[in-house]
Amino acid sequence: MIETLRRDALSRIAEIKIGRKDFRSPGILFVDTERFNPPDYAEITIGGRNSTLNPDEFPEVPYPIGASILNEVSGEGSFGSIYFKGDELRLSHEGAAMYSFPHLAELIGDAGKFTDAVIRARELAGPVPIIYAPATGEVNHLAILAYFGIELFDTVPLIVSARNGKYSDENGKWKSNEDFETLLKKNYRSALRELGIIRKAIEERRLREIAEMRARSEPWLYAALRLADEEHWRFFETYESLKPRPVRYSGPESIERPEVMRFRERVVERWKPRGQVLLLLPCSARKPYSRSRTHRKFREILQSVDGWGSVQELIVTSPLILVPRELERYYPAGYYDAAVRGKWDLQEIEVINGMLEALKKRAGFRHVVIHLPEDMDFVSDAIYGEWTVEGSVTSKKSLKNLGEALKGALSDVRGESPKNRNLWTVQAMVEFQFGIEGELMADSVKGRWPNIKGFKNGKQTVSFVEGKGSLSLTSEGGRILAENGRYRVFVSDFEIHGDIFSIGVEGADPEIREGDDVVIIQKGIPVAVGIAERSSPEMVEAKRGIAVRVRKKIGD
């Protein structure tokens, strides 16, 4: 039995009841033999008479690893194997609670093959079973392995390092003159210390940050992380939560992180620009941007101009690239901190100009006002507009130029009132969040931003909850969402008295992620709205744990 307690994308802390003892993942299996006795503090052991995992049930593999001689493995029950038959990866059987993946150790050091294999293994096994990779337990590898969805490792590499006179820690291996027993104990302690950091990082959804640090300890680890982003970000994104949290973007690898790619894709594919004048603005250190001193000055200038409701504000930043003003409080836009050097990498320039080109094709702006630092003049390669900055973006001259440019741009367009701008804002948020036309969910609004509510035909459908960082559905909003076939969770026939558990989920729309507002469907009828506690694959396949926290039953 496996119950996920906390998840951070593909990594998780899970309660496991298999074999002779309950334990948690991620974990390290301590080899128990006549030559190598596990320490008293070992949580999980393998190989000995008192092994945590029953050796009569655990899948047999050549040990130490000689996985290349494996051809085809068959099995049944709680334990299974993941193995190669030629170039094809296979499962020994479906339905196992834990799979051993002995081949993976052979791919250590080959970034491309390793990344493809470990992602394919998780695809085959699904989100629920535990994957154990024998002979993978180097201390500086643990965070990357956990981030990739491997949950059990063992002490074989720690023993080998000690035999070779080396001490292992999160930065790699170091030569030492200490004896084998002393080094082995130090390696054990080092691995458990790193495991503690990994578990804490999963609890706080910060494992990606730790993985980025550890990836720089060996070139192949860094290459594997970059390849995972470039080639498999959609798979990682499936399990990437939408619940807000502080996030740090520190290096070039951040530009293709799964939650960053999701945000950018939704801006391009879901969000619909409105207004007849486009205003490009720089980002700020404070989030959301509108709370910064710099952006307050921009807003003062903007709102002093008649018809300013027709201006579409777009913040240019890295790694998110383009953040519409109405989406600045969404995760991760409202919650990130990024390294700022005052210089732009070629990759950043390419992505910024690419998104601006895509925007230009979709929007019908009559005027473009560019209030960006002079070092961002590269955007002129993608979009033509009137530049207003002289010196700093907040200099008196620059702000005066901004005001004059906006007055000129708005002089020959139909100006919209701020009230209409609020409606556009809610409609844009609906499109970004739910992937349906904003007009289907809101034709009027009440309140002052950011405390705003959307209505359709006089009935409230959504409200913005700032701490949640997204729109919350009402019963009427849930009905509309169901009618448009989006963000639905289908449950079996039972009386709903509280939250929905995975055991009762029969299906879910594939776009659902942890933190999404969803509508619950029973017998083809929308019966409740709530917040997803898991992504759609996990809420369907898991047999334990909460799938949806119900906010309101429809009809109550």
Domain 247-410 falls in which CATH fold?
Answer: Rossmann fold (3.40.50)
Helix (H) or strand (E) holding 552: strand 546-553
Cα distance between residue 75 and residue 81, in whole Å: 8
Domain 2-238 falls in which CATH fold?
Answer: TIM Barrel (3.20.20)
Q: Who's near 355: CB < 8 A, 6+ residues apart?
A: 264, 267, 268, 321, 322
Residue from 97, 335, 328, 318 nearest 205 by CA:
335
What tokens does 313 get?
Answer: 């504000």
22: helix, coil or strand? strand
User: By 3-state DSSP, what share of the chain in percent is helix, strand and coil, each rounded to 5?
Assistant: 35, 25, 35
272 to each of 40, 208, 269, 290, 356, how far by Cα in Å?
Answer: 60, 31, 8, 21, 14
From first to last of its 556 residues, the chain has per-residue pLDDT tens of 788 899 999 999 998 887 667 888 999 998 887 788 888 888 888 776 667 766 555 554 444 444 434 434 556 678 888 988 888 898 988 888 889 898 899 899 999 999 999 999 999 999 999 999 988 989 999 999 999 999 999 999 999 999 999 999 999 999 999 999 999 999 999 999 999 999 999 999 999 999 999 999 999 999 999 999 999 999 999 999 999 999 998 888 889 999 999 999 999 999 999 888 999 999 999 999 999 999 999 999 999 998 888 899 999 999 999 999 999 999 999 999 987 777 788 999 999 999 999 988 888 899 999 999 999 999 999 999 999 999 999 999 999 999 999 999 998 877 667 668 889 899 999 999 999 999 999 999 998 888 899 999 999 999 998 778 899 999 999 999 999 999 999 999 888 888 999 999 999 999 999 999 999 999 999 999 999 999 999 999 998 899 999 999 987 5
Residue from 11, 271, 9, 40 nearest 131 by CA:
11
Q: Please determine whether the domains at 2-238 and 434-553 fall in the same fold group of CATH.
A: no
Residue from 61, 27, 54, 76 nearest 202 by CA:
27
334 to each of 58, 67, 327, 468, how far by Cα in Å?
Answer: 47, 47, 8, 11
What tokens does 270 get?
Answer: 């879901």
The conformational region for residue 474 under phi > 0 = left, psi -120 to 50 = alpha, else beta, is beta
Cα distance between residue 351 and residue 318, in whole Å: 9
Cα distance between residue 66 and residue 35, in whole Å: 20
Cα distance between residue 331 and residue 191, in whole Å: 33
Predicted confidence at residue 216, as pLDDT, reads 94
pTM assigned to the model: 0.92
CB burial readout 244-273, b (16+ within 10 A) else e? beebebeeebbbbbbbbbbbbebbeeebeb
Sign of CA dihedral 233, 237, 240, 243: positive
469 to each of 51, 70, 257, 272, 287, how far by Cα in Å?
Answer: 47, 50, 19, 19, 12
Tokens 């494992």 belong to 207
Question: What amino acid occupies position 212?
Answer: E
Cβ–Cβ < 8 Å for 339, 251: yes
Tokens 């201390």 belong to 139
Predicted confidence at residue 64, as pLDDT, reads 41
Tokens 């969000």 belong to 271
283: helix, coil or strand? coil
What tokens does 112 get?
Answer: 């491309």
Would you list the domain boundaries of the chain? 2-238, 247-410, 434-553
- What would the 3-class secondary structure string for 169-232 be? ECCEEEECCCCHHHHHHHHHHHHHHHHHHHHHHHHCCCHHHHHHHHHCCCHHHHHHHHHHHHHH
CATH classification code of 434-553: 2.30.130.10
Tokens 């000689």 belong to 66
Cβ–Cβ < 8 Å for 315, 322: yes
Predicted confidence at residue 445, as pLDDT, reads 93
546 to each of 344, 493, 549, how far by Cα in Å?
Answer: 44, 17, 7
Question: What amino acid occupies position 495?
Answer: E
Burial grade of 64 (CB within 10 A; 0-12, 13-18, 19 or more): middle
